[in-house]
Amino acid sequence: MPKTASDPTDFPTACIVLADGTTFYGNGFGAPGLIQAELCFNTAMTGYQEIMTDPSYAGQAITFTFPHIGNTGINLEDDETVDPVARAMIVKWDPTEPSSWRAEQTLSAWLSKRGRIGVGGIDTRRLTRAIRQQGAPHVAIEYREDGQFDMPALLQHARDFSGLEGLDLAKDVTCTQSYKWDEQRWAWPEGYTKRTTPGKRVVAIDYGAKRNILRCLASAGCDVTVLPASATAQDVLDQNPQGVFLSNGPGDPAATGAYAVPMIQGLLEKSDLPIFGICLGHQMLALALGGKTLKMNHGHHGANHPVKDHTTGKVEITSMNHGFAVDGHSLPSGVEETHTSLFDGSNCGIRVTDRPVFSVQHHPEASPGPQDSYYLFERFAASMADA
């Protein structure tokens, strides 16, 4: 039987090796195995299930800075996609038995069933400092029940990892065919409900879309049709949409832009459709408008990021998950920077000054504020009504 974090041993059963040779030993839980990844840290206190299943984390292992991960267990409603996408999770305290009326299974059992590695007993403060200093290091992580690690091989695995720059990962997490979406946001006491009245026709391009983004679109009055990331401008227009949504997703935006940018530019040339983008969708829109993107040192990953909306002067507490960013200085004439991070001044939003086309880097559907940024979905719906 797979070992869990509740089955203590007198030797470490998990090992984390950074490409510079820095090594951490801990207690493995979930599924035994060996992975290579880019290492990031996430500061959120809740939502570990949603984070692990967010397609934007493809190719990454996540260090959680909040120590008590696993205490609310796992339920079948909170997955953002079918299976965990992040390659591994690293925590300070070994997960305990869950204490939540919604819990259906333990975190360790869920990871084991889904084939993902967990590592507990790690000094996550020290590891987070290493990430900040080195800038999203490459790592090899192994969980072995016998604790017998080939350290030179693990170090070579870490050094052999190619990293995320130049990688188009959207193609790995996008849907393979189009589908309709009508599920709305969770609400007490009904839970998730379905749209039953006609709404604005929206085509959502799936670069790795989170389910809760699609729910927010439905709750804002949209009839959503989801198309794969490879969809062309004509594929979109054939749906006769009233608006187009560009989803979140993983990888290097410049790589995904090889096919996404021509599609968006085609829409901008052939129609006056309202367009709204989030995360990778924001970066795709910026590239299509003539801007540039860049790799960040360690990215923004968490649920406590203050962002200023320069169109209103208000500050929003947002959720973020991105290792690449739009270069605000590269935006051409006619494209306005609307939001910036109050942590480092990086770009967090843009809009075209004479068209209903806008996007944001942060995740309004994650509700960390909790409703600070939901107005963006309403703004998108209003732009379709005005059109």
Among all residues, which ones are annotated catalytic?
Answer: 279, 363, 365
The Cα–Cα gap between 75 and 98 comes to: 11
The Cα–Cα gap between 124 and 184 comes to: 36
Q: How is residue 42 written in tokens?
A: 């996430």
Contacts of 147 (CB under 8 A, 6+ apart): 9, 11, 12, 13
Torsion angle of the four alpha carbons 88, 93, 99, 101, in this order, in degrees rounded to the nearest 10:
-20
Cβ neighbours, 10 Å, residue 379: 16
- Any idea how long the chain is? 387
The Cα–Cα gap between 231 and 263 comes to: 7
Do 366 and 320 touch, CB atoms closer than 8 A? no
Coil, helix or strand for 321? strand
Cβ neighbours, 10 Å, residue 290: 14
DSSP 365: G
Task: Say how many CA atoms lie within 13 Å of 203 toward its Cβ.
Answer: 24
Tell me the Cα Rg of the chain. Answer: 21
